[in-house]
Amino acid sequence: MASISNKELVAGDPVNARPAQNRLVGIIGTATLLALLYFGREVLIPITLAVILSLLIAPFVHGLRRLGLGQTAAVWLAVLALMLSLSAIATVIGTQIIRMGSSLPQYESTIRGKLNTLDQLTLGKLSVITEAAARLLDRVPENKDSVAPAQPPAPGAQAAVPPAPATAVRPIPVEVHQPPAQAYQVLSRILASVWSPLESAAIVIVVLVFILLEHEGLRDRFIRLAGGADLRATTVAVNDAGERLSRFFAYQFAVNLAVGVMILVGLMLLGHSQALLWATVAALLRFVPYVGIWIAAFCATLFAAAVAPGWSLAIMTLSLFCVVELVVSQLVEPFLYGHTTGLSPLSVVIAAIFWSWIWGPVGLVVSTPLTLCLVVAGRYVKALNMLEILLGEVPALTLPENFYQRALSGDAETVIARARVFLKRKSLAAYCDAVLMPALHLARQDLLSGSIGKADQLKFRGAIAAVIEALGAPRQWWKRQQPISLLADVNLGRQLRDRRERLCGRWQGALEVPAGSVVLCLGVGSLFNELAAEILVRVLTAQRIDSRHLLLEDLPAPLPCGAMREKVSAICLVSLEPAKERERIEALSGELRARMPQAKTLALILQGPFEDCEGRDQPIEGLDLTTHSYEETAKSCQAVLDAGSR
């Protein structure tokens, strides 16, 4: 009974029921928002277009204000310039379409010839096959058993005589003609066809004027409404969204205008009869993400194929569009505003599909700026942070987290590929500091808490070993990376050291080296310290510094020969837990200084983000220098070698 009452208590607990209620409220709120967007599109679309246009021409208004014009005069002048530009574009498109329609009868023979050619290449081939199959079937003899022979008429029977045809009556053709339309009827039809676009355009212009006139006031009202409790954060969010959208529209307008000019020049050089029309269409359709330019290219190519006698004009037209778009999208746009929007490519495609479903063609055009507003909102509003993760270009996982996640999955190939991309820009030491060691700290924290099982430990060790082996050696694309077999109960740092000894010799290199040219690396005790010391050896080797990995059990034994002591210029002690290992570091530095007094003693302190940073910068007795990164250690060792060679 007690257990039953406890279950009832948990089930009726309002704290436990709160997440379910929150999810239900979220679902209902999302459904309500989608319904408002869909059924209120007649009102929301003009307002959205006006807001977007205000962001586009706001810099122009500010420029007019700086010239000394008042707010009202600057707004009306900017809106007038916008209306004249849109009217000019509409006039160009309309006159070019009328001109194209009037010239199509001149190309009737060319179009018929092209259609016949396409028919022969496609349907004509199919008809030849079907006719050959029909002739083959006609030659197949019929089954005589299946058809009964015709019976001769009985003797004396009269043959059926068809009735005589009646006198044929020819039908009287009837034609229905509409009376000629009056002038007012033609005018009413024209007005009916253009009334809806003109009405929407007028609403957009009116809303645009009022938005520009009250720009500052509207921004203050929005900030007060959205973040009255935190004006600073809301102001930063609004300014960020406005700046991103303004830069995006300005750059996109400039790029699309340049694309239209290049298409116009190219089509005129090719002798295209409607160069101005297709250049204007290309510049406008390029506002539609990804597919707009190719729709314009398809239409221009189809028209060129229809009016030109051969196929060369169509091929050159398509090639022109391809070359211009590839150059602009791959070279100009990344250089001009590579990460201005902050949207991932997949989110742009999904947003285009969603907003076109909600608002039709207009939604396809405004999908990118609307999605950008959602991403900026997710960046500054904690409750909407999911939107930035799903739609933004910022990686969901940091580089160390991604390394750790792929290593736990045993996907060393992906880790190595991303590491090579990183190494194209920075050094191996920087990669170890920024990615490898933070990932090792994550693994160490989970290992100490018991969150990693034996299977996951083995996968992680294998991935770490593969990455270290691949990055520490020159890349040979013709050789496949050999899998590394690891012993589950043996220190990974020692296994990597043994593999290197099998390649370089017992002493990890030649003994006959110049004096003061060797750096010894020593892990202070723990398993992770020895792995970090082995990584340091490979980092120094990549910097062309002769480094050797020394183990703690090697210290009681004598060095290879007496002359080797004189060849060591620096000894680097590696520790991941300086708070626990401070006394050991001091004892080791004193012992090593006594055995090799000419060598500098360094300590590489790789303290993790989960450790207490208090006392990190306190000096350790017996050390000449303390560093906190592989990059800093490599520079310090190089400085010691340079000083010893003088």
Mean of all residue pLDDT scores within the chain: 76
- In Å, what is the CA distance from 287 to each residue of 202, 331, 341, 364? 22, 18, 14, 9
Per-residue pLDDT, 179: 67
Residue 523 bridge partners (DSSP): 574
Per-residue pLDDT, 17: 54
- Most confident of the ranges 2-16, 120-134, 347-361, 380-394: 347-361
Q: Which DSSP symbol is given to 432?
A: I
600-620: pLDDT as tens digits:
888 888 877 666 555 556 677
Lowest mean pLDDT among 108-117, 474-483, 530-539: 474-483
Q: Looking at per-residue confidence, does 138 or 195 come out higher?
A: 195
The angle subtended at Cα 160 by Cα 157 and Cα 162, nearest 5°, is 160
Per-residue pLDDT, 547: 87
Per-residue pLDDT, 319: 92
> Of 383, 481, 302, 454, whose CA–CA distance to 25 is shortest?
383
21-71: pLDDT as tens digits:
777 777 887 788 888 888 888 888 888 888 888 877 887 888 888 888 888
Sign, CA torsion 291/293/296/298: negative
Q: Which helix (H) or strand (E) holds 216?
A: helix 215-227
Q: Which two tokens stand for residue 441?
A: 């700290």
pLDDT at 334 over 50: yes
> Of 333, 611, 646, 372, whose CA–CA distance to 516 is shortest?
646
Q: Measured between alpha carbons, how far is 252 from 372 in angstroms, rounded to an integer?
A: 14
> What type of residue is 391?
L
Q: Looking at per-residue confidence, does 528 or 381 come out higher?
A: 528
Per-residue pLDDT, 8: 45
pTM: 0.57
Per-residue pLDDT, 323: 92
Per-residue pLDDT, 321: 92
The angle subtended at Cα 401 by Cα 397 and Cα 402, nearest 5°, is 70
Per-residue pLDDT, 386: 75
- In Å, what is the CA distance from 218 to each residue of 203, 213, 221? 19, 9, 5
- Most confident of the ranges 115-124, 203-212, 219-228: 203-212
Q: Looking at per-residue confidence, does 373 or 539 come out higher?
A: 539
Q: Looking at per-residue confidence, does 167 or 459 come out higher?
A: 459
- In Å, what is the CA distance from 228 to each residue of 80, 242, 374, 386, 487? 36, 19, 20, 23, 61
Q: Measured between alpha carbons, how far is 343 from 358 in angstroms, rounded to an integer?
A: 20
The whole-number average pLDDT for the span 513-519 is 84
Per-residue pLDDT, 1: 42
Query: Each residue of 521-541: b (16+ CB within 10 Å) or e?
Result: bbbbbbbbbbbbbbbbbbbbb
Q: Measured between alpha carbons, how far is 591 from 254 in angstroms, rounded to an integer?
A: 69
Contact 487, 453 (CB under 8 A): no
Q: Which two tokens stand for residue 505?
A: 């010799």
Confidence of residue 336 (pLDDT cuts 50, 70, 90): low
The whole-number average pLDDT for the span 104-115 is 68
